[in-house]
Structure 1
Amino acid sequence: MWADDPEQGKSWVGPWSGLVHCDRCHTLIPGAKCPKCGRDYADGAEMVVRVINGEERRYPRIVLPGALSWTTHSLLALMKREWDRPVLELDQGLAAGTRPSQRMLIVILFWTLFEHHMDRFFDAALGALPPLIRADLLRRYATIGSRMDRLYKLTFDTTLEKDLADLGHGLVYGHLLKVQAKRNEFVHGNSEAIDDALVCETVERLPEVQAAWVALFNLRCTGNPSVPRVWESDLKRFKTT
């Protein structure tokens, strides 16, 4: 398990580490050169040369903020804290296999994180639409299930499952449906739905899910640098007057 590794487990940021938005095409990029539009931020044209105390120094002409939103950072930190904390000796009277996981909060936090990511995804994907139409679609398809299914089909004329498969993340869709179903069972009274096995699977596949979302964003939400960035607040999203 990567989360138990002394080095890998230090940070749960995973694929988000070093990501920024290309200010030309909105792509999430991990380095100095955008793979989509080709803009090279390390090129001489993107550098400023200044002479300080007789010494020539080069500085980036543009400094881009990291793509990680504060919500994402906070949720990942909470998940890590839950994973690292000692498990208590509780519920010994319950038979094995019927005990809810003491780390069930990790699954709840993961699903909250995924809903946040898809909220930012559609905020950008629908960014070119007139504000009233955009706001109406986001209100009409407000649940995560309707966004993963109907709104995705309406917007891109394909399915989320197919896009993930085409990007090399075909197993992620089934995992998301499984977590969603178990989370819903838990919310509706079946506390045993979130067991230790699901918690471990959720943590184990967290880096893959995050990498899949970044790839999905770069496939469907790039080309328009004026739409909201992943890290930007959406408090004014529905303000249309």
Structure 2
Amino acid sequence: MEPDQEYVWFDHLPTRYPWSSLWYGFYRCECAALRSNEPACPVCGRTSPCEPIDPSRLGEPPTYVTPGAEGRYEDYVYLELIEREWKRPTLDVETLPRPRVAGRHMADKVGIVLLFWTYFESRIDRLIDLGLSYRPAEEAENLRIRYRSVGARMDRLYKILFATTYNADLADAGYAPIASLLQEIQTRRNAFAHGDPVAIDDSLVERLVTALRIEHLSWIAAYNRRLSVLRARTDVERGD
């Protein structure tokens, strides 16, 4: 990672590319890994994206159809809502008074952090669903009920499923700064929700937006890392 370049990632998007284009070029391999244009899948090693649509047509270039790496339509919506809020003109402080405490004030674009955290929670749930898919249905449902909050799922439930935590996964994959930023966002977002509106300030909003691309890549790295471990564990249990 080269932070100085990533801080302006949105200034280098092709013309008319929305922020949801962070998902562009990523697709789901047959093994369920999320990959882009690397020569081989980082999980199963497959070099082609999937089986050709019609492998019987010898002598012709194969045609592939690959499912996108995003989990649902809302993955695009959240990113475009965050982009829209970022590009919104700053409001006149006289028309929308912002709380101030000891010289600090609530971010004008506080909604970016709130939107991001909802989007982030949905991706943590996707990771948890991956782990639970390797468990018996009744056990999986009980674990979902017992660990409802995102904090519990990132830590305690993640440990049950993967023998580590989400933030530790990021650090091990080389994304320690993102893990640290996520911890700060979680703390400040919770403070905001419990009566401290100035907990989310302009600095936090700017740091989140400029790190959004790296955060996106870090989540994909964690997803593939967990999938790889789960597949290997299953192969051992089967004796493959």
TM-score (norm: length of structure 2):
0.80
Q: Which has the higher contact order (CA 8 A, sep 6+)?
A: 1
| Cα distance change on mapping 1:210 and 1:15 into 2, 3 Å | same
2:69 to 61, 67, 70: 67
Corresponding residue number in structure 1 for 2:209: 203
Which secondary structure does the structure 1 equivalent of 2:221 belong to?
A: helix
Gaps of 5+ in 2: 1-6, 232-240
Corresponding residue number in structure 2 for 1:188: 194
Corresponding residue number in structure 2 for 1:232: none
2:34 to 28, 34, 51: 28
2:125 to 119, 127, 144: 119
Corresponding residue number in structure 2 for 1:38: 45
Query: How far did 1:15 drift?
Result: 4.7
Corresponding residue number in structure 1 for 2:234: none
Contact 2:9 2:213 in 1 (8 A): no
The residue correspondences of 1:97-136 to structure 2 (distance < 5 A) are 97-136=103-142
Which secondary structure does the structure 2 equivalent of 1:5 belong to?
A: helix
| Cα distance change on mapping 1:8 and 1:194 into 2, 3 Å | farther
Which secondary structure does the structure 2 equivalent of 1:58 belong to?
A: coil
Corresponding residue number in structure 1 for 2:82: 79
Partner Cα separation in structure 2 for residue 106 and residue 45 of structure 1: 41
Query: How far did 1:4 drift?
Result: 5.7
| Cα distance change on mapping 1:50 and 1:97 into 2, 3 Å | farther
Query: How far did 1:29 drift?
Result: 0.8
The residue correspondences of 1:137-176 to structure 2 (distance < 5 A) are 137-176=143-182
Contact 1:47 1:58 in 2 (8 A): no
Number of residue-to-residue matches in the alignment: 218
Gaps of 5+ in 1: 225-241
TM-score (norm: length of structure 1):
0.79
The residue identity in structure 2 corresponding to 1:33 is A
Corresponding residue number in structure 1 for 2:61: 58
Partner Cα separation in structure 1 for residue 225 and residue 194 of structure 2: 35
Partner Cα separation in structure 2 for residue 43 and residue 213 of structure 1: 23
Query: How far did 1:186 drift?
Result: 1.1
Contact 1:3 1:204 in 2 (8 A): yes
